[in-house]
Amino acid sequence: MQIRWGKPPRTRQLAGSGWELSREATLRLQWMTHYLQHGHNAAFTCRHFGISKQTFYRWWRRYDPHNLATLEGHSHRPRVEIRHVPAIGRYFVELFVVGPVGALDVAIQFRGPRREHEQR
């Protein structure tokens, strides 16, 4: 797909919905149009805009000409909160030898949750 007159596809629909591209997304759209207009030459496009090929190809993979929202940046925050260690895992057990060295007598001391200053 090529944009010949400088307007992105479905501009009228975007304008009617009150949704506009951000400055960054507009710049990324310029990358894509330049790439398409100059024979799919990624190296030339990257030199022209001063970006790396890795950056260009990352946005090229995301680009959908029918949905320009794909050119918008998104949060890198995980969608699902990381679950904490179960309650049993928060407690720790210290093993130590009781008696002369080499003896098999082992005592177990159970302690409550570790505090921040005790963690190793």
Indicate the pLDDT class of residue 38, thresholds 50, 70 and 90. Answer: very high
C-beta separation of 32 from 9 below 8 A? no
First CA to last CA distance, the chain = 57
Computed on alpha carbons and rounded to an integer, the radius of gyration of the chain in Å comes to: 29
pLDDT of residue 26: 94
pLDDT of residue 80: 77
- Residues 46 and 75: their CA atoms lie apart, in Å, by 24
pTM over 0.85: no
pLDDT in tens, 43-90: 999 999 999 999 999 999 999 999 999 999 988 887 777 666 555 555
- Residues 42 and 3: their CA atoms lie apart, in Å, by 17
- Residues 102 and 63: their CA atoms lie apart, in Å, by 67
